[in-house]
Amino acid sequence: MPGTNLTRAEAEARAAHLQVQSYEVRLDLTSDGPTFDSTTTVRFTSSDPSQPCWLDLIAPTVTSVVLNGETVDPSGVYDGARVALTGIGEQNEVTVTAQCAYMTTGEGLHRFVDPVDKQTYLYSQFEVPDARRVFAVFEQPDLKASFAFTVDAPHDWVVVSNTHAEVAQHDDGKTWSFAPTQPIPSYITAVCAGPYHVERSEYSGSHGTVPLAVYCRQSLVEHLDADEIFDITRRGFAFFEELFDYPYPFGAYDQLFVPEFNAGAMENAGCVTYRDEYLFRSRVTDAAYERRAETILHEMAHMWFGDLVTMRWWNDLWLNESFATWASVLAQSEATRWTEAWTTFASAEKLWALRQDQLPTTHPIAAEITDLEDVETNFDGITYAKGAAVLKQLVAWVGWDAFVAGLRRYFARHAFDNTTMADLFAELEAESGRDLSAWETEWLRTAGVNTLRPVVAVVDNAGLAQYTSVTIHQEAPDEHDTLRRHRVAVGLYDAGPNGLTRRDRIELDVTGERTEVPELAGQRVPDLLLVNDDDLTFTKIRFDATSLATLDKHVGDLHDSLPRSLAWTGLTDMLRDAELSASRFVTLVLAGVARESDLSVVQTLLAQGRVAVEMYSDPTHRDALRDRWAAGLGRRVRQADPGGDHQLALVRAWAAAASSEQDIAEMRGLLDGSHEMPGLVLDRDLRWQLLQRLVVKGHVGAAAIEAEAETDRTAAGERQAALARAALPTLTDKQAVWDAIMTPSALSNSTMEACLAGFMPAEQSDLLAAFVDPYFSSVLDVHEQRTFHTAERIITGLFPRVQVSAATVERARALAEGADTPKAVARMLREGAADVERALRAQKRDTAG
């Protein structure tokens, strides 16, 4: 991607002299491609016209540039990424006409043809710097302006953007003229167009009424549960308008479910886009509905935090994303049926954050973002999950009332403006009276995670075990040796008729290496001492010997879901740190999973169990462990409530692990209808999953995949078939998939995603060894030739992670250190190497028993 970068220094210099008033953007979307006409008129002022000035634009052809009435030869001013504007004055108007490209990578204006009915759908995705693929723009978040889109589209299409439109009909189609937006940054502008289906509703709250709409492809209408989506949306609006004390600022609220979307969703102002896998065509567990609701609320929180008040530059991306994550889980737990949403957070988000924060590439939450490449690689577990966990700690630190009061002042003071973290912290300090500078240094300016480890001294007092002292030891890794101030709770749990329940809870500040908990001296020793109970801080936790012995037998007996989730996360973390063997972890999961009531935790555990078997177990006894895991899951499937969520989650885990003759026969029977499981519905995606397993194990081949695909000619079916083909266990088949992935423009982003998901089952590591050399020799070309998201997907997706050996680690590191290796690529390689190294350590631990 040469020439498309933008540095922070350039952006600051441009913003120092520019003020942008308005954009008028006209797009003609009546052509089938490969390009569409784009005409942009920008009005802006400059306080110092002698400074460099340019518009960002990535277009195959720039047809004309007219600056302040003068026609300029595009070939002299356009370099493929920038239109140089020389000779500007104080007041300026520039019009750029270009042919822009429809994309199939999910960046810019994505074009998709539905295989069901051959209808065409378009949607835009602009974060971080891809508005410039659709119109000429000053592409940086602090040059807010008003945008007015005019879109020409075929008669039978609807066009959706950030505001409402006047529609004019004429012979060739319709022209949609959207009202100018309020001042917003370019990355949250949006244009979606196609024969979308729409359902409408509204939200009425204390500040008035917000029209609501949800959109999807025609072929997905039967799966659109609009009532549920509207219900969560209304609950979210009521919650956030009250919490932020500021009315929703963008008029109507449209939510579109769009095909082949790269991320989960995008917070375009008043025009949110979601991946349409969120409309469930097959049975899913409640965990999927919970995740979708979290996403809906996350995007909605951005309407205030991000869209109304916007970061000045991308180094405050973390605040944008952590805040939305924190606020969404909060809203979910307070305003929806998922009252235990923090349990899911303590499991899924925490493990994501812990992994990321222990990679060699980890970084402070408030990261230095010097250019666009830095920000593109930073949509990670630090920015979303660790940041949200640390915000939760900040709430505990300043207190709830001060936090909310500070937020309200922040929105009122900075509406429609740009800010930095300092602006928010100033309000929090004013409200709480606490100086946050030390907190900020410890938590936001340094990387790495602490470990809190209880060290207990016990006496026997007439047959009753009592603490004489409890000390919390705080540790930090050598590379990131900061010890922090933690506001924590410590819980004491005893076994009883209702399982393990909390007898007492003590809240305290942990600081430095040793913190005594004097309140615990003289207390009867509980069955479980849980540090960081209620999950107030971001830390790894360990257990004393008594507590670990309790969890070993009774982790599933913890009565409340949050401490249970914290215990599971602690145990998983011990597995990852080679403090608990894979074999023992598998035993724990098999014993506890069927009793775990939180489906998100169930699914996290099942996924971690699989990682333990395939990556962290001693290879010499891996086959035996595989058998034990699959057989254990099979038994739990049969014991599960027919038709319940556990049954479905367990069947999926079992199907991903099954390999015995009996299991294979059972799967074949389920597929051909000769075998049934009470309550289990073999719907499309479950059928595909069973079939894919048979493919991985070499029991069926291409013909079976085609036969299944024949019955499922949908976009989702095409993805499932691509995944299955990628899993075929022959060198010829693998090579064909490899070639397709490596050929630019051969695959759309979602077919690419499917191919990568199927290509590398751990069980095929011997076969896949042939692709290690090709991988390392093509990485740099991939980065050079592809757009960022595609390159990232290929480089991480094909990393030889199933070749768990020192050689893999060495090769990845050597390439990462190469002089020609761009920093984004080096980061991906180092992360891949670190995961393999971790697996090697865990395997050694498993050998030791």
With contact defined as beta carbons under 8 Å apart, do 749 and 277 qualify? no
**Minimum distance from residue 725 beta carbon to Zn ion (Å):** 33
CB atoms within 10 A of CB 568: 29
Least distance (Å) between residue 127 CB and Zn ion: 9
> What's the token pair of residue 44?
């802006």
State in angstroms the smallest separation of the CB of 379 from Zn ion.
9
Q: How far is the CB of 306 from Zn ion (least distance, A)?
A: 7
- Tell me how far, at minimum, the Cβ of 267 lies from Zn ion, in Å: 6
Kindly state the tokens that stand for 333: 């737990």
Cα–Cα distances in Å, from 238 out to 203, 241, 335, 766, 768? 8, 6, 9, 55, 52
Residue 128 preceded by cis peptide, ω within 30: yes
CA–CA separation, 394 and 442 (whole Å):
12
Q: Rounded to the nearest whole angstrom, what is the least distance from the CB of residue 387 to Zn ion in the complex?
A: 11
Binding mask 120-149 for Zn ion (x = CB under 5 A): ------------------------------
Q: Is 262 helix (H, G, I), strand (E, B) or coil?
A: coil
Residue closer to Zn ion (CB basis): 324 or 760: 324
- Taking CB under 5 A as the binding criterion, the range among 318-326, 413-421, 723-731, 782-790 that sits at the site for Zn ion is 318-326
CB of 564 to Zn ion, least distance (A): 28
**Least distance in Å: CB of 298 to Zn ion?**
5
Q: Which stretch binds Zn ion (CB under 5 A): 57-65, 231-239, 320-328, 763-771?
A: 320-328
Q: At closest approach, how far in Å is the CB of 149 from Zn ion? A: 23
Query: In which residue are the tokens 């022959």 written?
Result: 730
Distance CA 113, CA 715 (A): 9
Cis peptide before 761 (omega within 30 of 0): no
Q: Is 680 in the site for Zn ion (CB under 5 A)?
A: no
Parallel, antiparallel or unpaired: strands 499-510 and 271-275: unpaired
> What DSSP designation does 179 have?
P
- Give the type of residue at 330: L
299 is catalytic: yes
Sheet containing strand 271-275, strands side by side:
197-205, 208-216, 253-258, 271-275, 265-266
Q: Which of 267, 290, 294, 299 is catalytic?
A: 299
SS (H, E, C) 515-584: EECHHHCCCECCCEEEEEECCCCCCEECCCHHHHHHHHHHHHHECCHHHHHHHHHHHHHHHHCCCCCHHH
End-to-end CA distance of the chain: 48
Report d(CA 185, CA 311) in Å as an integer: 10
Q: Which is nearer to Zn ion, 18 or 324 (CB)?
A: 324
Please choose, out of 324-332, 488-496, 665-673, 823-831, the segment that lies near Zn ion by the rule CB under 5 A.
324-332
Q: Based on CB atoms, which residue is closest to Zn ion, 411 or 776?
A: 411
Burial category of 370 from C-beta neighbours within 10 Å (exposed 0-12, middle 13-18, buried 19 and up): middle
Residue with smaller CB distance to Zn ion, 274 or 410: 274
Cβ of residue 304: shortest distance to Zn ion, in angstroms?
Answer: 12
Structure tokens at 557: 């007996």
In angstroms, the CA 5 to CA 18 distance is 20
- How far apart (Å, rounded) are the C-alpha atoms in residues 303 and 147? 17
Cis peptide before 20 (omega within 30 of 0): no
Which of residues 153 and 324 has its CB atom nearest to Zn ion in the complex? Answer: 324
Q: How far is the CB of 403 from Zn ion (least distance, A)?
A: 20
**Quick one: which segment of 105-113, 200-208, 313-321, 748-756 binds Zn ion (CB under 5 A)?**
313-321
Size of the site for Zn ion (CB under 5 A): 2
* Contact set for Zn ion, span 230-269 (CB under 5 A): none
Cβ nearer to Zn ion, comparing 367 with 705: 367
DSSP string for 340-406: THHHHIIIIIHHHHHHHHTSTT---SS----BHHHHHTT-STIIIIIHHHHHHHHHHHH-HHHHHHH
Within 13 Å, how many C-alpha atoms sit on residue 422's CB side? 2
Of 298 and 502, which CB lies nearer to Zn ion in the complex structure?
A: 298
> What is the distance between the alpha carbons of residues 229 and 257, in angstroms, rounded to a whole number?
11
Q: Which is nearer to Zn ion, 380 or 763 (CB)?
A: 380
Q: Which listed range, 27-35, 244-252, 323-331, 653-661, lies at the site for Zn ion (CB under 5 A)? A: 323-331
Question: In this complex, which beta carbon is closest to Zn ion, that of residue 57 or of residue 303?
Answer: 303
Cβ distance to Zn ion smaller for residue 300 or 705:
300
Options 127-135, 322-330, 648-656, 708-716: segment touching Zn ion (CB under 5 A): 322-330
321/380 with CB nearer Zn ion? 321
Let me know: does 504 contact 492? Beta carbons within 8 Å.
yes
Q: Which residue in this structure is represented by tokens 């199927």?
A: 758
The distance of closest approach from Cβ of residue 419 to Zn ion in the complex, given in angstroms and rounded to an integer, is 17
Q: Is 309 exposed, middle or buried (0-12, 13-18, 19+ CB in 10 A)?
A: buried
CB 566 within 8 A of CB 532: yes
* Region near Zn ion per CB under 5 A, out of 35-43, 187-195, 319-327, 496-504: 319-327
Neighbour-count burial of 6, counting CB atoms closer than 10 A to its CB (0-12 exposed, 13-18 middle, 19+ buried)? buried
The letter for the amino acid at 275 is R
Interface with Zn ion includes 833 (CB under 5 A)? Answer: no
x/- contact string, 262-301, with Zn ion (CB under 5 A)?
----------------------------------------
* Number of C-beta neighbours around residue 204 at 10 A: 11
* Closest residue to Zn ion: CB criterion: 324
Assigned token pair, 377: 């690689």
Closest distance to Zn ion from the beta carbon of 302 (Å): 6
- Both tokens of residue 146? 């008003």
Query: For Zn ion, what does the binding mask look like between residues 346 and 365, x meaning CB under 5 A?
Result: --------------------
Q: Which is nearer to Zn ion, 274 or 403 (CB)?
A: 274
Nearer to Zn ion, 328 or 600 (CB): 328
Query: How far apart, in whole angstroms, are the C-alpha atoms of residue 139 and residue 130?
Result: 8
Q: Of 252, 183, 255, which Cα lies nearest the Cα of 211?
A: 252
Coil, strand or helix at 801: coil
Residue with tokens 């012995």: 549
Q: Is 324 a binder of Zn ion (CB under 5 A)? A: yes
- Residues noted as catalytic: 299
| Chain residues that interact with Zn ion, rule: CB under 5 A | 321, 324
